[in-house]
A and B are shown apart, each in its own frame.
Chain A
């Protein structure tokens, strides 16, 4: 809006409001050819060439967004004097959002002053002035409800280029509004107290973390030693501005942008035996562990620690070039563990995506390098979605949750998903999706029932079975000898 005339601005506001509400107003908008702009005129004014301004045009005013809770917490300050507020300035000032509403504010800031009608502006300062006037009309987004229950309607003005410009004000109650879209489906009050440990924050793991945060999971522990690279960005939720940051830091900020009350702890460490004790301690804090790493040693370490601790773990991963993927849920001593899975389905256990340089390096030889393979984010996300859903089911199991209707649908330990009939695989000749009624196709989840391996080296009685096989009595084995001397 270019006009600085307060009266003209007010008339435009009234006209726009009338348009937005699709009601006749006292003013209307016309195009002034001499000024080459839109102006507001009284309704009765003859304006044969008036433009047809629609309701979509009503969003032309900038908006200031403030936290109601933040205001309530400082209500006594506001009553006793003007209060300063720092605002993120977005899109050239089109949106001014309270800077501490989230963890990723704009670098461009403006300072505003909140004061009651008739109150002196000093000592606060800034180019934005938000005036609260005791309201009598119906409450709307611009109405602030004080701790005593009384409503105050906000008006806002911005000083710029020597003039004053009207700005809309919107108050938000962040947590209640976040919960609105979940209530009735997810029991946020239960999830708020739950803890999920996420190991590996690549494309899949990062997506799971954010989805769980959006669902209201209150405590998230993040482990990943990698930094976000430029090559990650086309798949990862982190953006190009975040390149170089540890993925745990990127994800912490993304999570807090979605769930500001979440408790996020970050651990930029490798998932290997050097950190076994530290990871064991984190597993002990978790209700569910989500493992999104792409290498076997880390998965088997997580498997061992989760079986030891009796914590359910969910492993998600894409096959090479993300032609499909798999999800394994391990309920210790109840369902097959990851080691049982390797024994039962060795080919599937080895078919993993090579999506990062570190993944490639882990399997490359100096004389036979391995390249990072292409894979689409949209082919990874179905797998991540199921991992997130299974994690929610674990967190809500045994609770009075409407989501538990899904427990009988997701009772298999292992799930298979195919994005395409990849040449060179056993799935190359799948029938087209549209022609198949009961044959295996792409884009369907298949739950597969596997049995635990009684002699599993992690969750079974491997030693006893091995001893029995070789006719050795575990209880009467001799002490091991000392190593031979180097000169012997």
Chain B
């Protein structure tokens, strides 16, 4: 199912994570299902930890990988509702939650902006930014969009 190019790319992406100081994250291969994922704990400035999880889609890198927060579960907002309850939200920078587990999906790049030149290290970087903005949301009740600007298109 996976091409040599994809396998090489994912191995290389693992090296990039390590080389760029993102070694709290790692790319994994599940030999049982011949599936790939990337995950790890992100530690916010507050010291709280959040588990970020990327199931690698079979069309990667041409297909956009989703980025979920799987721990804490559920991830709660300032008002006590689950983040996943807002669905695709501009104000919370979230996309469709995971279909079965209900994990909130962080909006890193939308499908309309994703391209195969983007690497997982940049996806995790956006995840870290979202986590910090989320903590500010918890502290103030303001929307995550108040702390994160929507990125202009860049190559």
> A interface vs B, CB < 8 Å?
273, 276, 295-297, 300-301, 304, 339, 342-344, 346-347, 349-350, 352, 362-368, 456-458, 462-463, 466-467, 470-472, 474, 477-484
In the complex, the answer to whether B62 meets A301 with C-beta atoms within 8 Å is yes
In the complex, the answer to whether B29 meets A482 with C-beta atoms within 8 Å is yes
Query: Which residues of the partner chain A approach B116 to less than 8 Å between Cβ atoms?
Result: 300, 304, 339, 457-458, 462
What are 10 contact pairs spanning A and B, CB under 8 A? A295-B112, A366-B89, A462-B117, A470-B15, A470-B16, A472-B15, A477-B12, A477-B14, A479-B11, A481-B29
Q: Taking the complex as formed, is B119 at the interface, i.e. its CB lies under 8 A from any CB of chain A?
A: yes
Complex: how many Å from CA A478 to CA B114? 28
Query: Which residues of the partner chain A approach B8 to less than 8 Å between Cβ atoms?
Result: 463, 474, 477
A339 CB contact (under 8 Å) in B29, B89, B115 = B115
Complex: how many Å from CA A349 to CA B153? 9
Q: How far is the CB of B46 from chain A (nearest CB, A)?
A: 24
Also in contact, A477 and B26, with CB within 8 A (given A297-B63, A363-B110, A483-B39) = no
Query: Interface code B26-63, partner A: CB below 8 Å = 1, 0 otherwise?
Result: 11111100001101000000000000000001110111
In the complex, the answer to whether A470 meets B89 with C-beta atoms within 8 Å is no
Query: Which residues of the partner chain A approach B26 to less than 8 Å between Cβ atoms?
Result: 481
Query: Interface code B17-33, partner A: CB below 8 Å = 1, 0 otherwise?
Result: 00110000011111100
Also in contact, A296 and B112, with CB within 8 A (given A347-B153, A365-B90, A463-B12) = yes
Complex: how many Å from CA A478 to CA B155? 30
Query: Which residues of the partner chain B approach A346 to less than 8 Å between Cβ atoms?
Result: 153-155
Query: Which residues of the partner chain A approach B12 to less than 8 Å between Cβ atoms?
Result: 463, 466-467, 470, 472, 474, 477
Query: Interface code B96-123, partner A: CB below 8 Å = 1, 0 otherwise?
Result: 0000000000000011111111010000
Complex: how many Å from CA A470 to CA B58? 25
- Majority SS of interface residues in chain B? loop
Query: Which residues of the partner chain B approach A462 to less than 8 Å between Cβ atoms?
Result: 116-117
Query: How large, as a class, is the contact surface on chain B?
Result: 35 or more
Query: Which residues of the partner chain B approach A478 to less than 8 Å between Cβ atoms?
Result: 11
Complex: how many Å from CA A344 to CA B117? 12
Query: Which residues of the partner chain B approach A304 to less than 8 Å between Cβ atoms?
Result: 62, 116
In the complex, the answer to whether A366 meets B115 with C-beta atoms within 8 Å is no
In the complex, the answer to whether B155 meets A342 with C-beta atoms within 8 Å is yes
Also in contact, A339 and B10, with CB within 8 A (given A296-B112, A470-B15) = no
In the complex, the answer to whether A366 meets B19 with C-beta atoms within 8 Å is no
In the complex, the answer to whether B86 meets A367 with C-beta atoms within 8 Å is yes
In the complex, the answer to whether A367 meets B91 with C-beta atoms within 8 Å is yes
Most buried by B among A304, A339, A347, A466: A466
Complex: how many Å from CA A466 to CA B37? 20
Complex: how many Å from CA A364 to CA B96? 12
In the complex, the answer to whether B88 meets A366 with C-beta atoms within 8 Å is yes
Query: Which residues of the partner chain B approach A477 to less than 8 Å between Cβ atoms?
Result: 8, 11-12, 14-15
Q: Taking the complex as formed, is B81 at the interface, i.e. its CB lies under 8 A from any CB of chain A?
A: no
Query: Which residues of the partner chain B approach A344 to less than 8 Å between Cβ atoms?
Result: 155
In the complex, the answer to whether A470 meets B19 with C-beta atoms within 8 Å is yes
Q: How far is the CB of B9 from chain A (nearest CB, A)?
A: 6
Most buried by A among B10, B16, B62, B89: B62
| Inter-chain pairs besides A346-B155, A480-B29, 15 sampled, C-beta below 8 Å | A273-B59, A273-B63, A297-B111, A304-B62, A364-B88, A366-B88, A466-B119, A470-B15, A470-B16, A479-B11, A480-B27, A480-B36, A481-B28, A481-B29, A483-B37
Q: How far is the CB of B64 from chain A (nearest CB, A)?
A: 7
In the complex, the answer to whether A350 meets B117 with C-beta atoms within 8 Å is no
In the complex, the answer to whether A363 meets B29 with C-beta atoms within 8 Å is no
Q: How far is the CB of A15 from chain B (nearest CB, A)?
A: 68
Complex: how many Å from CA A478 to CA B110? 31
B115 CB contact (under 8 Å) in A273, A347, A457 = A457
Q: Whose C-beta in chain A lies nearest to the C-beta of B143?
A: A367
Query: Which residues of the partner chain A approach B14 to less than 8 Å between Cβ atoms?
Result: 477, 480
In the complex, the answer to whether B119 meets A471 with C-beta atoms within 8 Å is no
A350 CB contact (under 8 Å) in B11, B19, B62, B112 = B112
Q: Taking the complex as formed, is B5 at the interface, i.e. its CB lies under 8 A from any CB of chain A?
A: yes
In the complex, the answer to whether A480 meets B11 with C-beta atoms within 8 Å is yes
Query: Which residues of the partner chain B approach A484 to less than 8 Å between Cβ atoms?
Result: 28, 39
Query: Interface code B57-86, partner A: CB below 8 Å = 1, 0 otherwise?
Result: 111011110000000000000000000001
Complex: how many Å from CA A479 to CA B7? 10
In the complex, the answer to whether B28 meets A367 with C-beta atoms within 8 Å is no
Complex: how many Å from CA A364 to CA B111? 12
Q: Lowest 6 A-B CB distances belong to which pairs? A: A273-B59, A365-B90, A483-B28, A368-B90, A457-B116, A480-B29
Also in contact, A342 and B115, with CB within 8 A (given A366-B88, A463-B5, A483-B28) = yes
Also in contact, A480 and B90, with CB within 8 A (given A295-B112, A296-B115, A470-B16) = no
Also in contact, A350 and B153, with CB within 8 A (given A295-B112, A362-B111) = yes
Complex: how many Å from CA A477 to CA B63? 24
Query: Which residues of the partner chain A approach B36 to less than 8 Å between Cβ atoms?
Result: 480
Q: How far is the CB of B79 from chain A (nearest CB, A)?
A: 14
Query: Which residues of the partner chain B approach A301 to less than 8 Å between Cβ atoms?
Result: 59, 62
Query: Which residues of the partner chain B approach A472 to less than 8 Å between Cβ atoms?
Result: 12, 15-16, 19
In the complex, the answer to whether B115 meets A482 with C-beta atoms within 8 Å is no
Query: Which residues of the partner chain B approach A297 to less than 8 Å between Cβ atoms?
Result: 63-64, 111-112, 114
Complex: how many Å from CA A466 to CA B122? 14
Complex: how many Å from CA A23 to CA B114? 73
B87 CB contact (under 8 Å) in A362, A366, A466, A479 = A366
Complex: how many Å from CA A400 to CA B10? 48
Query: Which residues of the partner chain B approach A466 to less than 8 Å between Cβ atoms?
Result: 12, 16, 119
